[in-house]
Protein backbone atom coordinates (compact mmCIF):
# COMPACT_ATOMS: atom_id res chain seq x y z
CA UNK A 1 0.00 0.00 0.00
CA UNK A 2 1.19 3.53 -0.73
CA UNK A 3 0.00 6.92 0.44
CA UNK A 4 0.47 9.90 -1.85
CA UNK A 5 0.35 13.35 -0.29
CA UNK A 6 0.62 16.82 -1.72
CA UNK A 7 3.53 19.04 -0.72
CA UNK A 8 2.05 22.19 0.80
CA UNK A 9 3.46 25.67 1.19
CA UNK A 10 3.89 27.92 4.21
CA UNK A 11 1.48 28.29 7.12
CA UNK A 12 -0.61 31.38 7.75
CA UNK A 13 1.72 32.18 10.64
CA UNK A 14 4.70 32.10 8.27
CA UNK A 15 2.94 34.38 5.77
CA UNK A 16 1.89 36.79 8.51
CA UNK A 17 5.46 36.99 9.80
CA UNK A 18 6.92 37.41 6.29
CA UNK A 19 4.42 40.21 5.64
CA UNK A 20 5.64 42.22 8.62
CA UNK A 21 2.75 41.02 10.81
CA UNK A 22 0.22 42.63 8.45
CA UNK A 23 -2.35 41.36 5.95
CA UNK A 24 -4.60 43.31 3.66
CA UNK A 25 -8.34 43.31 4.25
CA UNK A 26 -8.78 41.43 0.95
CA UNK A 27 -6.39 38.69 2.12
CA UNK A 28 -8.12 38.39 5.50
CA UNK A 29 -11.53 38.09 3.81
CA UNK A 30 -10.24 35.45 1.38
CA UNK A 31 -8.79 33.46 4.31
CA UNK A 32 -12.02 33.79 6.31
CA UNK A 33 -14.13 32.64 3.36
CA UNK A 34 -12.04 29.52 2.76
CA UNK A 35 -11.66 28.66 6.44
CA UNK A 36 -15.39 28.88 7.07
CA UNK A 37 -15.86 26.42 4.21
CA UNK A 38 -13.19 24.08 5.62
CA UNK A 39 -14.58 24.18 9.17
CA UNK A 40 -18.12 23.67 7.89
CA UNK A 41 -16.92 20.54 6.06
CA UNK A 42 -15.21 19.21 9.21
CA UNK A 43 -18.43 19.79 11.19
CA UNK A 44 -20.51 18.03 8.50
CA UNK A 45 -18.21 15.06 9.13
CA UNK A 46 -19.39 15.29 12.77
CA UNK A 47 -15.97 16.36 14.08
CA UNK A 48 -14.61 19.32 15.98
CA UNK A 49 -10.98 20.15 15.15
CA UNK A 50 -10.01 21.64 18.55
CA UNK A 51 -6.65 23.03 17.41
CA UNK A 52 -7.28 25.67 14.76
CA UNK A 53 -4.22 27.92 14.78
CA UNK A 54 -2.35 29.83 12.06
CA UNK A 55 0.30 27.09 12.20
CA UNK A 56 -2.34 24.48 11.24
CA UNK A 57 -3.52 26.31 8.14
CA UNK A 58 -1.22 25.83 5.14
CA UNK A 59 -1.26 27.40 1.69
CA UNK A 60 -1.15 25.27 -1.45
CA UNK A 61 1.98 25.56 -3.58
CA UNK A 62 1.96 26.87 -7.15
CA UNK A 63 2.34 24.10 -9.69
CA UNK A 64 1.83 23.40 -13.33
CA UNK A 65 -1.64 22.03 -13.72
CA UNK A 66 -3.42 20.04 -16.32
CA UNK A 67 -6.08 21.96 -18.25
CA UNK A 68 -8.87 20.40 -16.16
CA UNK A 69 -7.14 20.84 -12.78
CA UNK A 70 -7.22 24.07 -10.80
CA UNK A 71 -4.03 25.49 -9.34
CA UNK A 72 -3.76 25.10 -5.57
CA UNK A 73 -1.64 28.24 -5.17
CA UNK A 74 -4.27 30.13 -3.17
CA UNK A 75 -6.03 27.14 -1.60
CA UNK A 76 -5.96 26.81 2.20
CA UNK A 77 -5.55 23.43 3.88
CA UNK A 78 -6.53 22.67 7.47
CA UNK A 79 -4.05 20.19 8.96
CA UNK A 80 -3.27 18.42 12.25
CA UNK A 81 -6.38 16.53 13.25
CA UNK A 82 -4.57 14.93 16.20
CA UNK A 83 -6.92 16.54 18.72
CA UNK A 84 -10.11 16.24 16.63
CA UNK A 85 -13.08 14.60 18.34
CA UNK A 86 -16.55 13.57 17.22
CA UNK A 87 -19.38 15.66 18.60
CA UNK A 88 -22.09 13.18 17.57
CA UNK A 89 -22.27 9.65 18.97
CA UNK A 90 -22.27 7.55 15.80
CA UNK A 91 -24.25 4.76 17.49
CA UNK A 92 -27.03 6.81 19.08
CA UNK A 93 -26.83 9.78 16.65
CA UNK A 94 -27.12 12.12 19.67
CA UNK A 95 -24.88 15.06 20.54
CA UNK A 96 -22.07 14.08 22.90
CA UNK A 97 -22.43 16.07 26.13
CA UNK A 98 -19.72 18.46 27.23
CA UNK A 99 -17.66 17.60 30.27
CA UNK A 100 -16.82 20.14 32.95
CA UNK A 101 -13.50 20.68 34.67
CA UNK A 102 -11.57 19.03 31.85
CA UNK A 103 -7.83 19.60 31.51
CA UNK A 104 -6.83 22.33 29.09
CA UNK A 105 -5.62 21.17 25.70
CA UNK A 106 -4.56 23.06 22.62
CA UNK A 107 -3.06 26.52 22.26
CA UNK A 108 -4.16 29.01 24.92
CA UNK A 109 -3.98 31.86 22.44
CA UNK A 110 -6.50 30.27 20.05
CA UNK A 111 -8.78 28.11 22.24
CA UNK A 112 -12.44 28.88 22.79
CA UNK A 113 -13.76 30.71 25.85
CA UNK A 114 -15.40 27.45 26.99
CA UNK A 115 -12.02 25.70 26.90
CA UNK A 116 -10.53 28.42 29.10
CA UNK A 117 -13.29 27.71 31.64
CA UNK A 118 -12.68 23.94 31.52
CA UNK A 119 -15.86 23.16 29.57
CA UNK A 120 -15.59 20.89 26.57
CA UNK A 121 -14.35 17.54 25.44
CA UNK A 122 -11.81 15.60 27.48
CA UNK A 123 -8.31 16.29 26.21
CA UNK A 124 -6.81 13.20 24.69
CA UNK A 125 -4.83 12.86 21.51
CA UNK A 126 -6.89 9.79 20.57
CA UNK A 127 -10.08 10.78 18.79
DSSP the chain: -----PPEEEEHHHHHHHTTS---HHHHHHHHHHHHHHHHHHHHTTEE-S---GGGEEEEPP----TTS---TT-EEE---TT-EESB-TTT-PBPPPEESPPP-S-GGGS-HHHHTTEES---S--
Spatial distance between the Cα atoms of 101 and 117, rounded to a whole number of angstroms: 8
Considering the candidates 14, 51, 80, 99, report the single residue annotated as catalytic. Answer: 51
Rg of the Cα trace of the chain? Answer: 17
| 51 catalytic per annotation | yes
Residues annotated as catalytic are: 51
Amino acid sequence: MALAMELLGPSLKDLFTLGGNKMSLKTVLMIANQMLTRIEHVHRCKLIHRDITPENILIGRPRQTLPFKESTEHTLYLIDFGMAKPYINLTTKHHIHYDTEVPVCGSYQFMSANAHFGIGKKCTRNA
